[in-house]
Amino acid sequence: WQYLVKLGNGGGRIKQRIDWQYLGKFGFDLGKGSWSVRVKEKFPQGLAPNTSFDLEVYLDEQWPEVEAEKDVCKRKQHSKQNPEALLGAHRDFGPISTGHVRQTMRPHVWYFAISDCNHTLGDTHYVLIAEFTALNPGGSQFSVEMQWAPSANLLTLLGCTAFLGLFWQKSAAFRRSTGSLHPVIWTLLAVLLTQYAAQCLHTGHLAVYRSNGTGSMTMEVLSEVFFIACQVIQTSLLILIASGYTLLQSKLGDLDVVLPICFLVAILHIALAVLDRSQVESSTKFTDHDGYKGYAFCGLRLVLYVWFLWAGHSTAASGGMRLRSFMKKFRVAASLYFLSYPIMFMVVQLVAPYLRKPIMEVGLMGAQVGSNVWLTFLFLSRGAFFEVSSLSASPLPGGSPTRFFK
């Protein structure tokens, strides 16, 4: 990874001196891991070759004490390693500073910082580029919380491929028996295809990451956008059904309000995700859902859940006994999907940092896949939903006029 480092007298109207800057972190697994850092001058030019800076390496167990220390130049006393980083000539990278860490009891997250407490830079503000590389035992460039990701995502992609084939077969059989496919089935297909695109892009990003240690930012951002889109489409579909779509003909006109609101929710989700990607590396961020983004997503999901419950209660009250029975089961199953994100977000705060990402990602993917399977069998079988909804209506000439096909 490459980081911008700003040291010396700060720029702008307030000339606050910057003597210390956090670089990044890496989770090392059991065994002997290695790391390396090299730096070069970006702006302005004028530093002599071999100008030195201090690198500081901290164990996760001491990191809270480091952050609590207000005098940044006293943080060095908690550092486990203190090598030098030297500038190269003519704005080139200097020699590589290397180090090793050995884990014997459990994995640990190690934090890296660079400092100029000797005031080598004088009264000038300098911008440097620091290139940081870390390798786990065996040469893996994945941090310990990410080592499971390549194989798990590949298996997920294969599973999604197989499930798409199953969905196609069940859809074809359902179409042969009813004469057509209802719009809710096409909407679910859009969810599956969007998720499949997201999974393909994320698996590709991890394949690139394996080789270069940084991955493809384009593929990763597009993957997150597609994954958010599939969740919003699925959430909107659940709210539409709870609002009476396919269930109550008298409420179809009210659904014109639902779709624009869901579209705005999708835009807000995507904007939050893109904005989060543009933020600098944070020592407190261990998953893609930490910080304001995670709390915002939790808030949005809970607001949508309240909307879903209110709409479902209203629809159940407007129908007969069979519809009320169906809505009771539908609300319980859909609640598991709506609450999956808030529950996982709170649970991962209780575990070790290097366990948060795998627990969060596996939990969210399990909720999404489980919801896909549930909706597939709900829509493509002649069960309770088929009986109370317009899926049992025939759009063909001579079909029953007592139902509405919408």
Per-residue pLDDT 10s for the chain (406 aa) are 777 788 877 655 546 778 899 998 999 999 999 999 999 988 877 788 888 899 999 999 999 999 999 999 999 999 999 999 888 877 789 899 999 999 888 999 999 999 988 888 877 888 889 999 999 998 898 998 888 889 999 999 999 999 999 999 999 998 888 888 888 899 899 999 999 999 999 999 999 998 888 888 899 889 988 998 888 889 888 988 988 888 765 454 455 655 676 677 777 777 766 666 656 667 777 777 877 778 888 888 898 899 999 989 988 888 788 889 999 999 999 999 999 999 999 999 888 888 888 899 899 999 999 999 999 999 998 888 888 887 766 444 444 433 434 4
Q: Is the dihedral of CA 65, 66, 67, 69 positive or negative?
A: positive
In terms of Cβ atoms closer than 10 Å to its own Cβ (0-12, 13-18, 19+), residue 362 is: middle
- What values do phi and psi take at 249, rounded to 5? -65, -30
Distance CA 104, CA 144 (A): 14
Q: Cβ atoms within 10 A of the Cβ of 121, count?
A: 19
Separation between Cα atoms, residue 21 and residue 35, nearest integer Å: 18
199/204 Cα distance (integer angstroms): 8
Is there a contact between 223 and 198 (Cβ–Cβ < 8 Å)? yes
The reported pTM is 0.83
User: Is 369 in contact with 347 (CB distance < 8 Å)?
Assistant: no
Q: Quick one: CA torsion of 269, 271, 277, 279, rounded to 10 degrees? A: -120
378 vs 383: CA distance, rounded Å: 7
Half-sphere exposure in the Cβ direction for 348 (13 Å, CA): 26
Whole-number pLDDT of residue 32: 94
